Chains A and B, each alone.
Chain A
């Protein structure tokens, strides 16, 4: 016989699960991802883990979801659930590099460096174009080097491989290259492995924090979909102007191109909405206005055809 307390907890859990299902039904993939980021920034990364695990049932082949799951699982301590899901995915998708990469990252963050290196190696083999895996792998290798001061590590092939990988990473993912990264690389060349690990680890952390940040960009989409009463069109326009300026002045990260594109789409949706509002106002002023009636009919039909398209937006 469950206790009153247990019944209450069960009820709450059931409610939470239903809420998550509702979110999954209502929003597209990118919005689910943004929601997870929002939960994390609101100090409830565990909720993000639950959401992402449910989302993986719907979208089992989305690399971003796996990656976010790993980071929020570490933050919330729900690593066992994440590991279980990733191992299941490994069986279902044996050729998917992102599953190995996510598992490897999870093990690395859990400080299980040997498993991490093995899985990351497999991922790199399947997808050599992901530089961030090289950094995780390099750090895993560094972490498991013997501490015997009598051995000259620089002659070991593992260390030589680390140096090569870091060089390759610089080319593949320049956004990871920070002062800490360069310092770490320098220390590695001086055979100061402990300090190198520290600095390279710092550069990895700042990259991950940036990646998992709930940014102003996410906020715009979040309020547009979740809190439309708080959505501010002027704020969107301002953000677009700022991004345009930034992109015209410097070579930005690839992500920013996509973000600007997505913001334009958001602006586009608003223009269609404004058009619809104007036609509705015209019909309030003159309910017999045939032209406005027809135009509103076309527009509403077009909007219905557009919604599933817009749901495929990836931000």
Chain B
């Protein structure tokens, strides 16, 4: 790799007094392309994309290297275009966005860790839909990430007042208490979450962590019981996870000390982060918004790439109902382009053929289909 230089891309954009930058480069250690997003020179989020199976070496063929360069440039352009489009959407929603639309855009920003921008959208959403519990929940997450724990707790509690049976809200409130080091209150919320969803992996992990923290503080005769409680919770977190790992199973068998359990926690946490669906969910929200507010501007190629990405996520094991739902909507949105292509061909046929009747029947049919699709999309947009 020493002599092999792959270009690093960097582009900046200013928006409402802030400076944003996207940097894209090949990371030879990870053998992946890293796309990083900066705000006012501070790294806010990054994603890494695997672009080939083997390492790129000096011996890699020139043609292959050119392809890799193209890919890096492509991911860079894509991220930069996305960022611009987020801001454009934000402007558009200020004019005619409803509560759920602001909420979705907030999630898009949250997916990129643009917390202030997310907060602004969630607050706008609350002005328009003050009793929509998910907004309070996500606003709670933003405050938690900003370190504003009391604000975060208040928002999770409001969400729970509106919808008390959401395991996610109890879990998030528990996490905020955990951050505040109010372990007993945290554990109470985690237990509530488990009552509603007894297979909630992340709750077991955090419950175990809370026990571990308590064990570390108390350090007396009760420690052994607390550590056992932590271990039991970690075992359940592992049991309800997606990936199986022999090394982890061995560790869980032999774990005994506080240090062993801390190690297990870190490993489980990293496994869970790997499986995190926040980024793809935020992309889904972004496209749902564009399908609604930008339908004429969204290009066919963009939707093709989006469809490909969603399919890949599913193949890689992210089998969530939301993802399937988004894929379903993307298929229908994409079908509009296909109908347009069909119409064009039928028009060509009518122009050239003496059998105009067949072409006209087909053209009329595809136009009718298009009307039905538009109606369907309109109905779907009510859900955004």
Q: Are A265 and B321 in contact (CB under 8 A)?
A: no
With A271-B332, A285-B319 as contacts: A129 and B354 at CB distance below 8 Å: yes
A254 at interface, CB cutoff 8 A: yes
Check A21 for interface membership: any CB of B closer than 8 A.
no
Q: How far is the CA of A294 from the CA of B357 in the complex (A)?
A: 38
Restricting to A256-308, which residues have a CB under 8 Å from any CB of B? 257-258, 260-262, 264-265, 267-268, 271-272, 274-276, 278-279, 281-283, 285-286, 289, 291-292, 294-295, 298-299, 302, 305-306
**CB interface residues, B 333-384, toward A, < 8 Å:** 334-335, 338-339, 341-346, 348-349, 352-354, 357-359, 361-362, 365-366, 368-369, 372-373, 375-376, 379-380, 383
Find out whether the CB atom of B338 lies under 8 angstroms from the CB atom of A286.
no
Query: Which stretch in B74-82, B240-248, B292-300, B322-330 binds the other chain?
Result: B322-330
Residues from chain B with Cβ under 8 Å of A310 in the complex? 365, 369
Size range of the chain A interface in the assembly: 35 or more
**Is A233 an interface residue when CB atoms closer than 8 A count as contact?**
no
Distance in Å: Cβ of A242 to nearest Cβ of chain B: 14
Chain A residues near B256 (CB, 8 Å)? none
Report which of A274, A281, A312 forms a contact with B365, defined as CB distance below 8 A.
A312
**Distance in angstroms between the alpha carbons of A294 and B366 in the assembled complex:** 25
User: A interface, by DSSP: helix, strand, loop or mixed?
Assistant: helix
Residues from chain A with a CB closer than 8 A to the CB of B328 are 274-276, 278-279, 282, 292, 295, 299
B372 touches A302 (CB 8 A): yes
- Nearest A-chain residue to B376, judged by Cβ: A302
- B320 contact set on A, CB distance < 8 A: 285
- CB pair B369 A264 closer than 8 Å: no
Which residues in A have their C-beta under 8 angstroms from that of B354?
129-130, 172
Whether A257 and B345, one on each chain, are in contact in the complex, defined by CB atoms closer than 8 angstroms, is: yes
User: How close is A10's CB to chain B, nearest CB, in angstroms?
Assistant: 39
Residues on B with beta carbons closer than 8 Å to the beta carbon of A302: 372-373, 375-376
Q: Report which of A267, A279, A291, A314 forms a contact with B338, defined as CB distance below 8 A.
A: A267
Measured CB to CB, the closest approach of chain B to A301, in angstroms, equals: 9
B321–A295 touching, CB < 8 Å: no
Which of B324, B334, B349, B369 makes the CB contact (< 8 A) with A258? B349
Q: Is A309 an interface residue (CB 8 A)?
A: yes
Q: Are B321 and A305 in contact (CB under 8 A)?
A: no
Please tell me if the beta carbons of B321 and A258 are within 8 angstroms of each other in the complex.
no
Interface residues of B in 130-171 (CB under 8 A from A): none
| Cβ proximity bits B217-247 to A, threshold 8 Å, 1 near / 0 not | 0000000000000000000000000000000
11 contacts between A and B (CB under 8 A): A254-B349, A264-B339, A265-B365, A268-B342, A271-B335, A272-B335, A276-B328, A283-B321, A285-B320, A299-B376, A306-B369
Q: How far is the CA of A294 from the CA of B384 in the complex (A)?
A: 13
Q: In the complex, what distance in Å separates the CA atom of A14 from the CA atom of B375?
A: 46
Closest chain B CB from A65 CB (angstroms): 13
The residues in A between 221 and 238 inclusive whose CB is less than 8 angstroms from any CB of B are: none
Given contacts A274-B328, A299-B376, A314-B361, 5 further A-B contacts (CB under 8 A): A257-B346, A268-B338, A268-B339, A272-B332, A275-B331
* CA of A310 to CA of B362, assembled, Å: 9
Residues of B contacting A289 in the complex (Cβ-Cβ under 8 angstroms): 321, 325
What CA separation (Å) do A275 and B328 show in the bound complex? 4
B366 → A minimal CB distance (Å): 6
Q: How far is the CB of A283 from chain B (nearest CB, A)?
A: 7
| A130: B residues at CB distance < 8 A | 354
- Among A261, A285, A298, find the residue whose CB has the most chain B CB atoms closer than 10 A: A261
Given that A267-B338, A271-B334, A314-B358 are known contacts, is A294 also in contact with B353, CB under 8 Å in the complex? no
- A292-B324 contact given A275-B329, A275-B331, CB 8 Å threshold: yes
A313 beta carbon closer than 8 Å to chain B: yes
Task: List, in ascending order, chain A residues with CB within 8 A of B335's CB.
Answer: 268, 271-272, 275
The CA of A258 and the CA of B331, in the complex, are separated in Å by 24
Chain B residue at minimum C-beta to C-beta distance from A303: B372
Taking a contact as CB atoms under 8 Å apart, the answer to whether A295 and B383 are in contact is yes
Cα-based distance from A305 to B371 in the complex (angstroms): 11
**What 7 A-B pairs have minimum CB-CB distances, sorted nearest first?**
A261-B345, A264-B342, A282-B324, A314-B358, A278-B328, A275-B331, A254-B352
A260 near B345 (CB under 8 angstroms)? yes
Q: Taking the nearest CB of chain A, how far is it from the CB of B285, in angstroms?
A: 13
Indicate if the CB atoms of A261 and B331 lie closer than 8 Å: no
Give every chain A residue within 8 A of B372 (Cβ-Cβ).
302, 305-306, 309
0 or 1 for each of B304-322: is its CB under 8 Å from A? (1 = yes) = 0000000000000001111
Q: Which residues of A contact B339 (CB under 8 A)?
A: 264-265, 268
Could you tell me the distance between the alpha carbons of A298 and B329 in the complex, rounded to whole angstroms? 12
Interchain CA distance A298-B383 in the complex, whole Å? 12
Q: Please, how many angstroms separate the alpha-carbon atoms of A281 and B325 in the complex?
A: 9
What's the Cα separation between A271 and B380 when bound, in Å?
16
Contacts of A129 in B (CB 8 A): 354
Which residues does chain A contribute within 8 Å of B353, judged by CB atoms? 254-255, 258
Cα-based distance from A78 to B354 in the complex (angstroms): 30
Q: Give every chain B residue within 8 A of A272 (Cβ-Cβ).
A: 331-332, 335
Beta-carbon contact of A298 and B380 below 8 Å: yes
> With a CB–CB cut-off of 8 A, which chain B residues contact A275?
327-329, 331-332, 335
Instruction: State the CA gap A272–B345 with chains docked (Å).
Output: 20
Q: How far is the CA of A67 from the CA of B342 in the complex (A)?
A: 27
A302 and B341 alpha carbons, distance in the complex (Å) = 21
Contacts of A172 in B (CB 8 A): 354
**Contact at B342–A261, with CB atoms within 8 Å?**
yes
State whether B362 touches A313 (Cβ < 8 A): yes
CB-CB under 8 A from A281, the residues of chain B are 324
